[in-house]
Structure formats: structure tokens, C-alpha cells
Amino acid sequence: SKFEVFVTRADMPESGIEMIRRECNVKLWNRSSPVPRDEFLKLVPGVNAIYCCLTDKIDKELLDAAGPELKAVATMSVGYDHIDIQECNKRGIRVGYTPDVLTDATAELTVSCLLLATARRLPEAQAAARDGGWESWSPMWMTGPGLADSTVGIVGFARIGQAVARRSQGLQHQRIIYCSRTARHEAKEVGARKVEFDDLLAESDFVICCAVLVPETRHMFNRVAFDKMKRTAIFINTSRGGTVDQEALTEALQHKIIRGAGLDVTTPEPLPLDHPLLSLNNCIVLPHIGSATIDARKTMAELTAVNILEALKGFEMPSELKIT
Ligand code: GLV
Ligand code: GLV
């Protein structure tokens, strides 16, 4: 009999679902909103694979509910903090993710949208043009920092961090520095210099977080970190909200400890509408759209499908996560 694959959204890109349908029975969650936890637990018993996304928590309880027929979990994301990989590995369940195929999309959003929009205050400026706040051209009105002659500091220098560095190079920043647990030979190509975290905070005009969320990076951007930044610094985060102590960030923005922030990720998601970060004019919040290009999402879906199909045949996934 055919393998059964549970898919956690009704609106996963069709091309990936079609690939799975050719070989397996697909059981789709019937809505485009996340499957509620209690439903999730009821729908997985006996399935052979789960196609999920970053809103679906894959933990011990869920794996227990699924049972011993589960052979593969594949997430349509590069982040994997929602999956207990160790527990999956222990049970012989392969875990797939989607690195590389979303690197350009995410780096583009980080630099070309969020960094530039935050520096030049685009939402604030557009609001002024629309609502009458634009009275006349004015010498210092709506000014923000330029990029030339600035230092950009990239925290986390894996695929996305490096792609951010390549784009930064094109923007003529004076210096690119990074910190990462390991020295990266790729840094040479973009002229990026490795520094300690504290030095990066002190020297950067733009601090960009591209670090994976693991216990060691949780709340690495806390009160102490914001205090070490320049008063004129702009903080950008496109990794996971959990890397930031959000209360500390809110205070840093309210009290002008730093100039501004641009966030594609928050805790929780979505942010409650009365959250102070949504009303500060020195903060831009985007709704977690880093990988949201049409091509990236389609390719992510197809890679997720291949990850599942290969694992069900007993092979290693093309993009498989293992705890090292
Ligand atoms: C998005 O945040 C992802 O992890 O793919
Ligand atoms: C993060 O995991 C990356 O691809 O940079």
C-alpha cells in the first residue's frame, strides 16, 4: 500500500504536493491557517511522513502521537528551531529542511528592503506624503544615515549571512565585519573581517542578525548588547525573534539607545496589534516574509517533496538535518 504523507497547510505550493501525490497518499490539512495543536495530534497517527512549516511544533508528544510508522519530517523552511531533531534522530526519523533555495530571497529582503527602508525611514516618509505630514521640502526632515562610509556587522555567517555580505559590498559600505563560531574562508571574497561579538556591537552602524536560533543564540541581543551598540546604530533581524530580548529592544528604541530597528521576525508571530514595537516610528516590522519570492517558495516546496520521497525510499534526503 502507498505511503501516507500529512501536509500541514491546504495552500502549500502545488508543484511540490503534485510530486508527492504521484507516489503517495496525501492528507492535506483543510485550511490555509496553521493546524491547531489538538487537531495535529489527532491527524498524524499512522502517517509515514509529515510535510510541515515553521509554525508547526514537532516535539516528543507529536512524534509519540504519530507512532512508529513515521519515517520523515520535512519542513518548508531553513530554520529548524520548531523541530526536536535529536528526538527524531533517536527514533530513526529523517529531518529535512530547505537551505540554499531561499538564501537570495532572504538576503534581498534583509538588505534591499529592510536595511534601506529602516535607514531612510520609508514607511514614515510615505505616511507623511499621504497624510499631510509633508508640508514642504525641509533641510533636515526625514534624514537618516547613508550607507557609504558605514560599517556593517553581520552576526551569523552561514549562507544567508554571506549573501548579505555580498549585497553589502555592492552598497559600498566602508567595512564589513562579522562574527561566527567558525572562521569562514568565504569572508575573504567579500572583504569581511571576523571580530568578537562585543567589538561588532561597538563598531557597527548596521548590526544584522542572520544567526540560527539555538540555545546559545537565544536572547543574544539583550540589554547589555544594545547598550554596547552605537547610539546611531540600526539593528536588523531576519533570523528568528528568539535571538532578541524584545523588551530590551523596545526600551532601547524608546530611549534612543539605538537609532532604529528593522524586524522580519518577532516573538510571538504575529505580534499583538497593541505591541509597542508596532507604534514606534523608529521601528519597521514585517510579517516574516524573508523567503517570500514566488520562485523561492515554489523551490522550497519542491525540495521538501524530494526530501520526503527520498526518505520514504530509505535514502538520505538531499537536505537533511542531523545533530552533530
Ligand atoms: C524562514 O524563516 C525559514 O526558516 O525558512
Ligand atoms: C541559515 O541557516 C543560513 O542558511 O544562513
**Which ligand minimizes its atom distance to the CA of 100?**
2
Percent of the chain at pLDDT > 90 equals: 94
Please give the distance, rounded to the nearest whole angstrom, from the Cα atom of residue 149 to the centre of ligand 1. 31
Q: Is pLDDT above 70 for 301?
A: yes
Which ligand 2 atom is at minimum distance from the Cα of 163? 5
Residues 6+ apart with CB under 8 A from 258: 226, 229, 230, 231, 232, 233, 234, 235, 252
Backbone angles phi, psi at 130, to 5 degrees: -85, -35
**Which of 111, 212, 239, when mutated, tests ligand 2's pocket best, judged by the most ligand atoms within 8 Å of its CB?**
212
Please give the distance, rounded to the nearest whole angstrom, from the Cα atom of residue 166 to the centre of ligand 2. 15
Between CA 199 and CA 230 the distance in angstroms is 11
Q: What is the mean pLDDT of residues 80-87?
A: 97
Predicted TM-score of the model (pTM): 0.96
Which ligand 2 atom is at minimum distance from the Cα of 160? 5
What's the pLDDT score for residue 323?
79
Which pLDDT tens digit goes with each residue over 89-120?
Answer: 999 999 999 999 999 999 999 999 999 999 99
Between CA 257 and CA 43 the distance in angstroms is 48
Between CA 311 and CA 62 the distance in angstroms is 19
By annotation, the residues acting in catalysis are 288
What's the pLDDT score for residue 306?
98
Which pLDDT tens digit goes with each residue over 178-202?
Answer: 999 888 888 999 999 999 999 999 9
Residue-range domains of the chain with CATH: 4-99+294-321 (3.40.50.720), 103-285 (3.40.50.720)
Alpha-helical (H) ranges within the chain are 14-21, 37-43, 60-66, 85-90, 103-108, 116-119, 122-131, 159-170, 197-203, 223-228, 246-254, 294-312
Instruction: Take atom 4 of ligand 1 and give the residue whose Cα is closest.
Output: 79
Instruction: Take atom 4 of ligand 2 and give the residue whose Cα is closest.
Output: 159
What's the pLDDT score for residue 160?
97
Confidence of residue 324 (pLDDT cuts 50, 70, 90): low
Between CA 237 and CA 146 the distance in angstroms is 19
Which pLDDT tens digit goes with each residue over 209-251?
Answer: 999 999 999 999 999 999 999 999 999 999 999 999 999 999 9
Please give the distance, rounded to the nearest whole angstrom, from the Cα atom of residue 74 to the centre of ligand 1. 13
